[in-house]
Structure 1
Amino acid sequence: MSHETQIILDRVVLVKVDANIYGARKKLKKEDLVLADGSILPPEDLASLGSKRLLDPDKLTVFNRLKKEAERICLRVGTRFLGGFAVPIESAASITAELERIALDFAAAKTEFIAGYDAAVTDWVVRHPEFAGIIEQAVDSVEFVSTRLSFDFLVVSVGLPESLPPADVARLDSKIGSLSEQMFYEISVEANQLIEQSLLGKEQVTRNALRPIRRMRDKLDGLGFLDYRVAPVVSTIDDLLARIPTKGAIEGSILQEILATAMLLSDPDKTRRHGEGLLGTQPPVVEEADVDEIIEHVETPAATVPVVKTALPPVIAETVPDSTDYNDLFDGIFDDELEPTPDDWALEVLLDKSQTNLETGNDADQANDSENAAEPATVTAEDDEEADDSDQDYWF
Structure 2
Amino acid sequence: MTTDMTETRNDNRSLENTLHLTDQTTLFLVDFHIWSGRKKLRAEDLRLGTDLPPDELISLGSKKICNPDALRVFHRNKKRIERNLLAVGTRFLGGFLVPNAMALDAQAMAEAVTLETRAEAETFLADYDQHIDAWCAAYPSWEPAIRQAVDPVEVVRGQFRFRVQALRIETAPLIATDTLHEDVAEIGDTIFAEVEQMARGLEQSFLGKPELSQRALGTFRRIHDKLNALSFVDGRIDPVVRSIGQWLKRLPGSGPIQGGLFLEGWALMRLVGEAEAMARHGEGLLALDALMPEVPEPRSDADVGDAVQQEDDANSASTDAEALPEDPMDFDDLFEEREVPGPIETSQPPVPAVPAQDFWF
- On whether the aligned pair clears a TM of 0.5, the verdict is yes
Within the candidate set 111, 134, 138, 1:127 is matched to 138
Instruction: Note if contact 2:37-2:65 (Cα within 8 Å) is conserved in structure 1.
Output: yes
Match of 2:42 in 1: 29
1:151 aligns with 2:151: no
Other structure's SS at 1:73 match: helix
Other structure's SS at 2:26 match: strand
Structure 2 distance, partners of 1:211, 1:251, is 17
Match of 1:114 in 2: 125
1:259 aligns with 2:266: yes
1:270 aligns with 2:214: no
Within the candidate set 83, 97, 100, 1:89 is matched to 100
Match of 1:304 in 2: none
Structure 2 distance, partners of 1:65, 1:115, is 20
User: Which TM-score applies when normalising by structure 1?
Assistant: 0.65
Match of 1:62 in 2: 73
Q: How much has 1:248 moved relative to structure 2?
A: 2.1
Instruction: Note if contact 2:26-2:168 (Cα within 8 Å) is conserved in structure 1.
Output: yes
Indicate how the Cα distance of structure 1 residues 115 and 194 shifts in structure 2: closer, same or farther if over 3 A, else same. Answer: farther
Match of 1:174 in 2: 182
Indicate how the Cα distance of structure 1 residues 188 and 346 shifts in structure 2: closer, same or farther if over 3 A, else same. Answer: farther
Indicate how the Cα distance of structure 1 residues 177 and 104 shifts in structure 2: closer, same or farther if over 3 A, else same. Answer: same
Structure 2 distance, partners of 1:77, 1:59, is 30
Other structure's SS at 2:97 match: strand
Q: How much has 1:49 moved relative to structure 2?
A: 6.2
Structure 2 distance, partners of 1:56, 1:93, is 37
Q: How much has 1:106 moved relative to structure 2?
A: 0.4
Query: What residue ranges of structure 1 are gaps of 5+ in the alignment?
Result: 40-47, 279-328, 334-344, 353-396
Q: How much has 1:199 moved relative to structure 2?
A: 4.2
Instruction: Note if contact 2:89-2:226 (Cα within 8 Å) is conserved in structure 1.
Output: yes
Match of 1:2 in 2: 15
Instruction: Note if contact 1:27-1:49 (Cα within 8 Å) is conserved in structure 2.
Output: no
1:194-228 Cα distance to aligned partner (Å, 9 max, x none) = 335x4444455542211111111111111111211
Query: What residue ranges of structure 2 are gaps of 5+ in the alignment?
Result: 1-13, 53-58, 296-361
Match of 1:348 in 2: 292
Match of 1:189 in 2: 197
Structure 1 distance, partners of 2:66, 2:28, is 33
Match of 1:358 in 2: none
Amino acid at match of 1:348: M
Q: How much has 1:101 moved relative to structure 2?
A: 1.2
1:243-265 Cα distance to aligned partner (Å, 9 max, x none) = 21101234454334323212111
Structure 2 distance, partners of 1:85, 1:109, is 25
Indicate how the Cα distance of structure 1 residues 244 and 53 shifts in structure 2: closer, same or farther if over 3 A, else same. Answer: same
Within the candidate set 14, 20, 28, 1:15 is matched to 28
Q: How much has 1:2 moved relative to structure 2?
A: 1.7
Match of 1:161 in 2: 172
Q: How much has 1:142 moved relative to structure 2?
A: 1.0
- After superposition, residues 309-388 of structure 1 pair within 5 angstroms as 330=287, 347-349=291-293
User: Which TM-score applies when normalising by structure 2?
Assistant: 0.70
Within the candidate set 83, 102, 126, 1:72 is matched to 83
Amino acid at match of 2:32: A
Indicate how the Cα distance of structure 1 residues 49 and 259 shifts in structure 2: closer, same or farther if over 3 A, else same. Answer: closer
Amino acid at match of 1:76: A
Structure 2 distance, partners of 1:17, 1:202, is 41
Structure 2 distance, partners of 1:131, 1:80, is 43
Structure 1 distance, partners of 2:206, 2:134, is 44
1:7-55 Cα distance to aligned partner (Å, 9 max, x none) = 1111111111111111100110111112239x9xxxxxxxx96100011
**Sequence identity, in percent?**
38
Indicate how the Cα distance of structure 1 residues 226 and 118 shifts in structure 2: closer, same or farther if over 3 A, else same. Answer: same
Q: How much has 1:231 moved relative to structure 2?
A: 1.4
Other structure's SS at 1:192 match: coil
Instruction: Note if contact 2:21-2:233 (Cα within 8 Å) is conserved in structure 1.
Output: yes
1:216 aligns with 2:223: yes
Other structure's SS at 1:154 match: strand
Other structure's SS at 1:2 match: helix
Aligned pair count reads: 275
Other structure's SS at 2:170 match: coil
Q: How much has 1:173 moved relative to structure 2?
A: 1.0
Rg larger in structure: 2
Match of 1:368 in 2: none
Q: How much has 1:159 moved relative to structure 2?
A: 2.1
Indicate how the Cα distance of structure 1 residues 87 and 137 shifts in structure 2: closer, same or farther if over 3 A, else same. Answer: same
Structure 1 distance, partners of 2:34, 2:266, is 39
Instruction: Note if contact 2:77-2:113 (Cα within 8 Å) is conserved in structure 1.
Output: yes
Structure 1 distance, partners of 2:290, 2:251, is 18
Indicate how the Cα distance of structure 1 residues 115 and 201 shifts in structure 2: closer, same or farther if over 3 A, else same. Answer: farther
Structure 2 distance, partners of 1:193, 1:346, is 21
Match of 2:300 in 1: none
